[in-house]
Amino acid sequence: MEQKYAVPALDRAHAVLTLLTEEPYKWKLSDLSKHLGISKSTLYSLLQTMERLQWINRDRNETYALGSAVGDLGSAYFRQYDLIEEFRRMAEPVMRKLQESVQMARLDGSEVLYLTKVEAPTPVQMVSGPGIRIPAHATGLGKSLMIDMDAEQVSRVFPQESLHKITVHTIGSRSAFLQELEKVRVEGYSLDIQEGVMGFCCVAAPVRRLGTVVAAVSCSMPIHHWEGKKDETVNEIRSLAKRMSTNI
């Protein structure tokens, strides 16, 4: 990343966290100031903010260590990889049974971010590998990821009433998307019939942890496979999402 886009306060916070990772409860304000070359006044404000956010903890001796929020972030970081490994293990037999690719994604702003994919050995594939982004309103995954959102939350994701139509079948307005979400909530899964990519159909379902949607899984296929596999695919993807959902 170019240096001109760096945020100095974040650089300083990173330096503090790195130091406390190596040597917790050793550094006082004056020690940190001297070691990092940051003025006491600047560092004091930074440490106060970091302590309020629970990034760091200060003991009775006025020395600092990492705070509970850092531990929470670390746990969440590793849980996402546990989820990916779990998906790969569970999705492999689904892919083999359907002979179609199975994906998992999460919501990132107004986009679906693909996390991983178990790819079927078929010549025609939709581009949906890790790191690929697609507007959420144009995908079955997006509908499942937003299944629990009310109108106000959807408005924050899509501030404008008009939504960009990727194909002639894409939902073109926020109000139409809200109506689609009502249907998705009733059925427990979502469909994308040539809404994101012409010639492809998809079924998706939400994955929940402690009741909260954390990801969604889907199976996409060429439209000429769809009619013969639709019901089986819906059942398999709903079952996969249910097995991946936990209360822990």
What does the pLDDT read at residue 91? 96
How much is the average pLDDT of 206-232? 94
Which band of pLDDT confidence, cut at 50, 70 and 90, is reported for residue 1? very low
Close Cβ partners of 130 (under 8 Å, ≥ 6 residues apart): 114, 115, 116, 117
Token pair recorded at residue 186:
């009733």
So what's the architecture of 3-66 in CATH? Orthogonal Bundle (1.10)
Which band of pLDDT confidence, cut at 50, 70 and 90, is reported for residue 141? very high
Domain ranges of the chain: 3-66, 76-244
Q: Is 80 exceeded by the pLDDT of residue 126?
A: no
**Per-residue pLDDT tens for 71-98?**
878 767 666 668 888 999 999 999 999 9
116: left (phi over 0), alpha (psi -120 to 50) or beta: beta
Which band of pLDDT confidence, cut at 50, 70 and 90, is reported for residue 122? confident
Q: Is 80 exceeded by the pLDDT of residue 202?
A: yes
> What is the SS3 assignment for 175?
helix
Mean per-residue pLDDT over the chain, rounded: 91
Q: Is 60 exceeded by the pLDDT of residue 2?
A: no
Q: In this structure, what are the phi and psi dihedrals at residue 180, rounded to the nearest 5 degrees?
A: -65, -40
Count helices and strands (H / E) in the chain.
8, 8
Close Cβ partners of 171 (under 8 Å, ≥ 6 residues apart): 137, 138, 163, 165, 177, 180, 195
**Residue 14 CB-density burial (10 A; 0-12 exposed, 13-18 middle, 19+ buried):** exposed
Question: What fold is seen in the domain 76-244?
Answer: Beta-Lactamase (3.30.450)
Q: Is 70 exceeded by the pLDDT of residue 241?
A: yes
CA distance 34 to 235: 62
Which band of pLDDT confidence, cut at 50, 70 and 90, is reported for residue 145? very high
> What is the SS3 assignment for 245?
coil
